[in-house]
């Protein structure tokens, strides 16, 4: 397995010579199969309780809830690493838990696309569905292949607004557009920029991949926040 901390450039991490000969491991396949099984049990248990539109949010609610729960710990860990000037150790020592959670997210995205085509095709959108999911499937596979799942785990807070949106979409009484927009700006704009700055300026980290991840996600986040801002302002004017 090529170690994550040995990959330093965009040319290396994105090149066709990238070695994936030992990925995925047998244990990785086992984690993915178990994750798929649990996802399907969860979806089957709640499917008939909701409308087609609500069902389209079930996978997002599930995965964002997990990331939202670990978000405070990841913020603390990242802040502590900044204070200690030791960010590189977050990405050169992959945590097994982070790898499992990464596969949990990966399998959820895959199943959301597959089941979405069958069960709620009308609500599987191009931007928030296909483009977002395919982008993150690629990112998650690259990080797993290079033992870098902890790179994404410190972006767990980005899923807090997703949890708020998903919960409000399934249970309208929980909808809070202001809270969603506030958390989106704090975590998907401000927090991600802070993470990007400290990781891209830390020697020894895979700067090419970090730039790819940041460019792909931030472009989507800025676009979505612009759309939300317009919609929110129009609602206030009415």
Residues 55-64 pLDDT 10s: 999 999 999 9
Burial class of residue 58, CB neighbours in 10 A (0-12, 13-18, 19+): buried
- Under 8 Å between Cβ of 101 and 62: no
- Measured distance CA(13)–CA(63) in Å, rounded: 27
Examine the pLDDT at 146 and tell me if it is beyond 50: yes
Considering the entire predicted model, what is its pTM?
0.85
Examine the pLDDT at 82 and tell me if it is beyond 70: yes
**Dihedrals phi, psi of 143, to nearest 5 degrees:** -65, -40
pLDDT in tens, 184-220: 999 999 999 999 999 999 988 888 888 988 998 999 9
Percent of the chain clearing pLDDT 70 (strictly above): 89
- What integer pLDDT is reported at residue 23 of this predicted model? 55
Examine the pLDDT at 25 and tell me if it is beyond 50: yes
Examine the pLDDT at 89 and tell me if it is beyond 80: yes
């Amino acid at each position: 397995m090529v170690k994550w901390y040995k990959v330093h450039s965009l040319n290396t991490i994105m090149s066709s010579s990238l070695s994936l000969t030992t990925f995925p491991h047998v244990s990785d396949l086992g984690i993915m199969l178990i994750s798929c099984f649990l996802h399907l049990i969860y979806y089957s248990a709640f499917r008939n309780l909701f409308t087609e539109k609500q069902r389209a949010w079930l996978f997002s609610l599930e995965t964002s809830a997990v990331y939202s729960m670990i978000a405070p710990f990841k913020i603390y860990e990242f802040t502590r690493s900044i204070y200690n000037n030791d960010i590189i150790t977050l990405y050169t020592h992959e945590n097994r838990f982070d790898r499992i959670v990464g596969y949990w997210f990966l399998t959820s995205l895959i199943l959301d696309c597959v089941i979405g085509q069958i069960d709620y095709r009308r609500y599987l959108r191009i931007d928030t569905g296909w483009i977002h999911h395919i982008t993150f499937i690629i990112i998650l596979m690259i990080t797993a292949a290079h033992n870098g799942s902890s790179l994404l785990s410190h972006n767990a807070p980005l899923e807090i607004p997703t949890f708020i949106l998903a919960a409000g979409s399934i249970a309208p009484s929980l909808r809070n557009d202001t809270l969603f927009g506030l958390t989106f700006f704090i975590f998907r704009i401000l927090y991600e920029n802070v993470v990007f700055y400290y990781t891209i300026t830390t020697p020894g980290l895979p700067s090419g991949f970090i730039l790819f991840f940041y460019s792909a996600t931030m472009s989507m986040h800025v676009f979505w926040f612009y759309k939300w801002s317009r919609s929110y302002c129009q609602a206030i004017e009415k």
